[in-house]
Structure 1
Amino acid sequence: MVQAVQRAVRILRELASTGPRLGVTELADRLGVAKPTAHALLRTLEAEGLVVQDRDSSKYQLGPDLVRLGNAYLDTQELRTRSLTWADQLANRTNEAVWVAVLTGDRVLVVHHAFRPEGAVQILEVGSSIPWSTCALGKAIAAFLPADERERLLAPEPAVLTGASVTEPEELASQLKEALRAGYAIEDEESAIGGAGIASPVFDRSGEVVGALGIVGPVDRLLAESARQELAVAVRETARNLSRDLGAPRGAAPRTTKT
């Protein structure tokens, strides 16, 4: 690896995760480098529009060109572009908001968000990053990964966002096994109090899981006994259709037997 590039990326990640503003000394300490080195990296990133310096505090924050780069990623992300119509159809069919996500490291990144029809004011969640183990999208992806990748995700201590977040790897492994059998995964207030999700994996032409599609909403509406099975079927069928749109072979789609 090129050390300077690696350090520059670490600066961006530090500003993204612990910002919004950090000084040269703080960033140098976090990177374990001398202040002149951190300052040189920051000036280079600033020249490229990836960070900006606040005039009042002299601290640095993420720059506007990152938005352009992020939008470029979304525009060229095949799963997102292929999912637009299918997500809208699922939102209309279930009357719930729909998220499409990909796995990045140990988190899922929301790449598309179809609003709930006839809902109240809603916040666009594209770009949101969520620990994989706390959401249905992440569990739907993890369940269909190769065994070694799945074990890698299960190895660290699970993230905790609420009192309902699963903290035992054995319980998570059991949930993944059930998702593999059923073709969909469930989130029950694990990332937000009162929130729930139902998601299914999406496959590409190689037959590998490339992301997940699911509905999100209030737990009492999504996981009610009278609605849960019907919603799960709708999510599973839509994910299967999206997978086929991506060229996935029929054998790659999650099974659709009753659960």
Structure 2
Amino acid sequence: MSGRGAERSLLLVEWMAGCAEPVSLAQTVAALNLPKSSALGLLRMLVDLGYAERTDATHYRLVRLPGEATNENPAWGSLLRLLQSSLAQAVSDTGESGFLAVLEPEKTVRYLNKVMPEREIRYDRDISVARRAWQVSSGIVLLAGLSEADLAAYLDVLSSTEGATIEPAVLLSEVREAQRLGYHANPMGVVEGAAGVAAPILDRNGRMVAALNIAGPADRISGSLEKIIDLTVAHAERCSAVLAEARGLSS
């Protein structure tokens, strides 16, 4: 693609990101001052690449921006960039450690980053080590975002997983509870003496893309559990709002 063609593609994506309704070919031509043939070619290219979809015979709607997650590309770098300040605010408000967690394709939990509170006694975690989803609050929440088929497949694998310390039926009950409540609280984490709460972060289409995890010493978390739950859920919702706003469309 020529430099001019690349520029037009970017301008088209930026313009469509600011449109709340599907756009027509005529609107695209007028808005970007493009020849009709060029505009049609660019719109078709966006559809072919999965950035847009046709809503009817003449209208197109942007469904994702470059850098947003797909099944083939987790795009975790974009999540980090967009949610770093929100995570820092959650840590400031709770006074506990904050983590941004995602579910890897093999259904292990990966912590993308961490923010530590400014207090002497605090909980730290080696985020280079992946966790099994059933072990941690973030994992329970992320499993709650799977399709029924994917969740069933995960539970089937779990039933034959060596070293698993939870029965599939028990895990399913915890996942259902997380779906009902909108969060999961773990009074005793993988690390002895630690506890935490996790809540889902959704993209603008309502798809779960990450979990916000607030964790700290178990006795301190348990002493203010309701407050920690409320703040974690509230900040996860704010993270979801950030993702929606960044895409130029309301959630």
Range class of TM-score, shorter chain: 0.5 to 0.7
- 8 Å CA contact 2:91–2:116 kept in 1: the answer is yes
Structure 2 vs 1, CA of residues 157 and 79 (structure 1 numbering), >3 Å: closer, same or farther?
A: same
Residue identity opposite 1:219 in structure 2:
A
Structure 2 vs 1, CA of residues 222 and 238 (structure 1 numbering), >3 Å: closer, same or farther?
A: same
The alignment partner of 1:98 has SS state of: strand
1:215 is matched with 214
Q: Which has the larger radius of gyration?
A: 2
TM-score by length of structure 2 reads 0.62
* Cα shift at 1:145: 1.9
Structure 2 vs 1, CA of residues 229 and 107 (structure 1 numbering), >3 Å: closer, same or farther?
A: same
* Cα shift at 1:199: 0.2
- 8 Å CA contact 1:199–1:213 kept in 2: the answer is yes
Q: Please list every run of 5 or more consecutive structure 1 residues that lacks an aligned counterpart in the other structure.
A: 1-72, 252-259
* Residues 1:194 and 2:193 aligned together: yes
Residue identity opposite 2:178 in structure 1:
A
C-alpha distance in structure 2 between counterparts of 1:179 and 1:236, whole Å: 12
TM-score by length of structure 1 reads 0.60
Larger displacement relative to structure 2 (145-154 or 231-240)? 145-154
- 8 Å CA contact 1:113–1:125 kept in 2: the answer is no
Larger relative CO (CA 8 A, sep 6+): 1 or 2? 2
2:108 is matched with 107
Q: Please list every run of 5 or more consecutive structure 2 residues that lacks an aligned counterpart in the other structure.
A: 1-72
C-alpha distance in structure 1 between counterparts of 2:123 and 2:227, whole Å: 24
RMSD value over aligned CA atoms?
A: 2.8
Where do residues 66-85 of structure 1 align in structure 2 (5 Å cutoff)? Answer: 77-85=77-85
1:136 is matched with 137
C-alpha distance in structure 2 between counterparts of 1:136 and 1:200, whole Å: 8
- 8 Å CA contact 1:140–1:176 kept in 2: the answer is yes
Structure 2 vs 1, CA of residues 191 and 250 (structure 1 numbering), >3 Å: closer, same or farther?
A: farther
1:150 is matched with 151
* Residues 1:240 and 2:241 aligned together: no
Residue identity opposite 1:239 in structure 2:
A
Tell me how many residue pairs correspond in the alignment: 174
- 8 Å CA contact 2:100–2:210 kept in 1: the answer is yes
* Cα shift at 1:156: 2.3
Q: Which of 222, 225, 229 is the aligned partner of 1:228?
A: 225
Question: Deviations along 1:151-205, whole A, 9 cap, x unmatched?
Answer: 22222237798xxx85111111111111111110122324122221100011112
Structure 2 vs 1, CA of residues 217 and 82 (structure 1 numbering), >3 Å: closer, same or farther?
A: same
The alignment partner of 2:157 has SS state of: coil
Where do residues 6-155 of structure 1 align in structure 2 (5 Å cutoff)? Answer: 77-104=77-104, 105-120=106-121, 123=124, 125-155=126-156
- 8 Å CA contact 2:99–2:111 kept in 1: the answer is yes
* Cα shift at 1:125: 3.3
Structure 2 vs 1, CA of residues 177 and 166 (structure 1 numbering), >3 Å: closer, same or farther?
A: farther
Structure 2 vs 1, CA of residues 192 and 121 (structure 1 numbering), >3 Å: closer, same or farther?
A: closer
1:19 is matched with none
Structure 2 vs 1, CA of residues 176 and 74 (structure 1 numbering), >3 Å: closer, same or farther?
A: closer
